[in-house]
Amino acid sequence: MERSASAVWHGNLKEGKGTISTNSGVLKETQYSFSTRFENGVGTNPEELIAAAHAGCFTMALSAQLGEAGLTPESLETTAKVSLGKVEGGFAITKIVLTTIAKVPGASKEAFDTAAANAKAGCPISRLFKGNTEIELDAKLA
């Protein structure tokens, strides 16, 4: 399986502007710029897209882990916060915080915590960052 996206940029770093598109068409010439990344401009940025990808990936992985435990979630809501920080040699994603609120009928705290930890470890986006970015998980049953 392969998925793809593209980016186009015009101009220098601070005054330039670009667009991001995905082959699915969900993002089509979506604006991004220095101000959307480092200030509060209108548009998206790579870190926001990583946050969306991680929230989606983890939530699907949690659903799978719960299913393997014989549990069916009523709802799983995850927010991912990606921190970009200055490090030696430039900038890097330094931390990702996943916060999940779950409604899972019949789930014990122990079963849920195990499923959440396994989902964090097994989600492909978590695995991408393993060893170079701190990933914090705050998962709770509602």
The length of the chain, given as a count of residues: 142
Predicted TM-score (pTM) above 0.75: yes
**pLDDT reading at 55 higher than 90:** yes
Question: What crossing angle do the helices spanning 46-68 and 109-122 adopt, rounded to 10°?
Answer: 130
Q: In terms of Cα–Cα distance, which of 19, 49, 22 is closest to 32?
A: 19
pLDDT at 87: 92
Q: Which residues contact 142 (CB under 8 A, 6 or more apart)?
A: 101, 102, 103
* Residue 63, token pair as written in the block: 């659903």
Average pLDDT of span 51-73: 98
pLDDT at 41: 87
Q: What domains are defined for the chain?
A: 5-38 (no CATH), 46-141 (3.30.300.20)
The Cβ of residue 121 has, within 10 Å, a number of other Cβ atoms equal to: 14
**pLDDT reading at 40 higher than 90:** no
* Residue 142, token pair as written in the block: 């509602």
What's the CA gap between 24 and 4, in Å, rounded?
A: 8
* Residue 58, token pair as written in the block: 């983890």
